[in-house]
Amino acid sequence: MKLFEEANTLQNKQVKANKAAEQKVPAGLWIACPKCGYEIFHEDVGLFHECPQCFYGFRIKARERLTWLVDSFEELDSQLDTDDPLNFPGYQTKLTAAKQKTELNDSILTGIATISGQKCALAIMDPYFIMGSLGKITGEKLTRLFEKATKLSLPVIVFTASGGARMQEGINSLMQMVKVSNAVAAHSAKGLLYISVLTDPTTGGVTASFAMQGDLILAEPHAMIGFAGKRVIEQTIHQKIPDDLQSAETVLKNGFVDAIVKRHEQKKYLARLLKFHQGGGKTDVTE
């Protein structure tokens, strides 16, 4: 007896299903916002690549996000390379293409940044690197960032964007979820601040680990945030589910996100939060 198709216990599917959201804004063309349908001329998405009507943030490369987010950025661990632990057919070719497309060594960019004068450890996932999937190097870079931030008493900000596990790395991908979580726990135990910012899409193993472990969890408008894929859910319960079940707005209403912040307001917003927690570590009660 099968209550749901095991064939579909995969999170990546929902990301593929949302083809419209995967389209980059092509130069010199009109594009419809995948969330509200508003027709936008490419120049009008502006620096922030957001819909002028509903403020959905288009999927952007990690390096593009830096352009408006930070004053300075010192990149870390850009030379690490996965050892292809399963010796997986075709994986090397896929990696090479992803590296060229994103100018990254894996699906996350990490470094030490200043945001309006506030120093922090910053990680940005790239949805264009094998769908932002969680690989060994993704997990390693993020773990090293948390470990460094713990040592230097720095707050951490992580922008998530992921289709879930990196299936080409098998169990190694799964182990990253615990590896990173343990580093988050050590950082937290020192009383340091961790802010996660969930962008479109944040799903699967990333939702089920560091995305949902922030002291403060922010999200971009209309970002898809969930664990299981839409199709998997529908095949399991034999019912249609509403389109907005996994929208940032619904997830906030259900109690799992602190605030939704439009992309063009994020720098100011994050700077204020960093300032509020200034000094890192636990507040000295004797003051």
Partner 1 sequence: MSQNKTAAQIVAAARSEQKITTPELITNLFTDFFELHGDRVSADDAAIVGGLAYFEGRQVTVVATDKGKTPKQRVAKHFGSPEPAGYRKVLRLAKQAEKFGRPLLAFVNTAGAYPGRTAEERGQGEAIARCLLELGQIKVPFITIIFGEAGSGGALAMACGDRVYMLENSMYTVLSPEGFASILWKDSKRADEAAEVMQLTPTALLKQGAIEGVIAEDADHTKTLAAIRAVLRRELANLENEPLAELMAKRYERFRKF
Alpha helices, DSSP H, located in 19-118: 19-22, 62-69, 91-102
CA–CA distance, 179 with 19 (Å, rounded to integer):
31
Site for partner 1 in 91-130 (CB under 8 A): none
Asked if 136 touches partner 1 (CB under 8 A), the answer is yes
CA distances 29 to 24, 42, 54, 61, 101, Å, are 11, 6, 19, 19, 21
State the binding site.
33, 36, 51, 54
The smaller minimum CB distance to partner 1, of residues 61 and 222, is found at 222
* Range in contact with Zn ion (rule: CB under 5 A) among 53-61, 141-149, 156-164, 203-211: 53-61
The smaller minimum CB distance to partner 1, of residues 52 and 170, is found at 170
CB of 164 to partner 1, least distance (A): 8
**Amino acid symbol at 45:** V
CA distances 38 to 49, 52, 112, 217, 261, Å, are 14, 8, 37, 28, 20
* Range in contact with partner 1 (rule: CB under 8 A) among 53-61, 84-92, 103-111, 112-120: 84-92
CB of 177 to partner 1, least distance (A): 6
**Amino acid symbol at 18:** N
Per DSSP, 85 falls in state T
Q: In what order do the strands lie in the sheet with 194-202?
A: 72-75, 108-115, 118-125, 156-162, 194-202, 216-219, 259-260
CB of 215 to partner 1, least distance (A): 11
- Residue 33 interacts with, from partner 1, Zn ion, none (CB under 5-8 Å by kind): Zn ion
* Range in contact with Zn ion (rule: CB under 5 A) among 48-56, 86-94, 102-110, 158-166: 48-56
How much helix, strand and coil, in percent to the nearest 5, is found in the chain? Answer: 40, 20, 40
The smaller minimum CB distance to Zn ion, of residues 33 and 261, is found at 33
Interface mask toward partner 1 for 177-206; x: CB under 8 A:
xxx-xx-xxx-x---------------xx-
How many H-runs (helices) and E-runs (strands) does the chain carry? 10, 9
* Range in contact with partner 1 (rule: CB under 8 A) among 37-45, 56-64, 75-83, 211-219: 211-219
- Residue 285 interacts with, from partner 1, Zn ion, none (CB under 5-8 Å by kind): none
Q: Which two tokens stand for residue 98?
A: 């992803």
**Amino acid symbol at 120:** C
Question: What are residue 186's phi and psi, to 5 degrees?
Answer: -65, -40
- Residue 35 interacts with, from partner 1, Zn ion, none (CB under 5-8 Å by kind): Zn ion
Residues in CB range of 275: below 8 A, 6 or more apart: 118
Site for partner 1 in 222-241 (CB under 8 A): 225-229, 232-233, 236-237, 239, 241
Note the residues at the interface with partner 1 (CB under 8 A): 1-10, 12-13, 85-86, 88-89, 136, 139, 143, 165-167, 169-179, 181-182, 184-186, 188, 204-205, 207-213, 225-229, 232-233, 236-237, 239, 241, 245-246, 254-256
Note the residues at the interface with Zn ion (CB under 5 A): 33, 35-36, 38, 51, 53-54, 56
